[in-house]
Each structure stands twice: as structure tokens, then as C-alpha cells.
Amino acid sequence: MRITRKRPDTRRGPAENFTGEVWLDEIASPQQPFRTRMFSVHFAPGAHTAWHTHPHGQVLHVTEGEGLVQRKGGAVEPIRAGDTVWIEPDEWHWHGAAPRTFMTHLAVVEAAEDGTTACWYEHVDPADYPA
């Protein structure tokens, strides 16, 4: 393996976009014309994203633990290490850890022309997050 570029520091997921303790490692970031961004996202038990969309969709690949994903209008679905989830372009959804376990997933997106990778909306209603 050849390391060509220092990886940015791990950073905390901001409270406006996440509930609970979330940490992101950026593994791949856009350097024109490459527009793929890949993160390893670490969710503490109960932590999850707010509702959001991705302009070009998203691939989630769970590397550790057990988590949850929900698409607008759909049921909350369990995901676990080894699972891969495809989110359609502009599909409202959220994802995160299950209530009592850590979960880590790789998240892969392609940035739009203007660099946008996600549009963020409201936090998940606590009544909709399984106890």
C-alpha cells in the first residue's frame, strides 16, 4: 500500500445534522475531476443522522455493529456488518446505530457540480426511533 496523501483528522458530526455521538473519517475527497467522497462514519449507540437526501444517491456499507436505516414512507430497517444499502438520488432517509450497539459504515457519495453531497432536513422524531 502506498499512502499518497495525509488523511484529514477525525471530526465530530455536527449537532445540526446528527443526534448523539457521531465521528467521521474522510477516506476519499474530491480532487477534480474525481467527485467521489467516502467516509467511515462511527455512530455511538442510539446516534443517527437527521433526515437528508443526496443529489446523486449514496452507498452505505456496514463494516461493524448493527444499525438502522429508514426511507421516507418506509419501515425502519435493521442493517448489520456486511450489509450494503443503496439510497436513490434525492430520496429522503436517515441512518444510524441501533439503540444499544455501536455501528460503523462506509458512506460513498458523488458530489454534484457545485460540490453538494447532502441536503439536510429535520431531526428524526424521537417517537420514530425504536426504543
What are the residues binding Mn ion (CB under 5 A)? 58
DSSP 34: B
Nearest C-alpha neighbor of 95 from the set 117, 74, 76, 122: 76
Please identify, using beta-carbon distances, which residue of 66 and 107 lies nearer to Mn ion: 107
Q: How far apart are CA 121 and CA 92, in angstroms?
A: 9
Q: Are 77 and 87 in contact (CB under 8 A)?
A: no
Phi/psi at 128 (5° precision): -95, -5
Minimum Å gap between C-beta 126 and Mn ion is: 19
Minimum Å gap between C-beta 44 and Mn ion is: 18
DSSP 99: T
Please identify, using beta-carbon distances, which residue of 3 and 75 lies nearer to Mn ion: 75
Nearest position to Mn ion, beta carbon = 58
CA gyration radius, the chain: 14
Please identify, using beta-carbon distances, which residue of 5 and 88 lies nearer to Mn ion: 88
Please identify, using beta-carbon distances, which residue of 58 and 70 lies nearer to Mn ion: 58
Minimum Å gap between C-beta 102 and Mn ion is: 18
Minimum Å gap between C-beta 105 and Mn ion is: 10
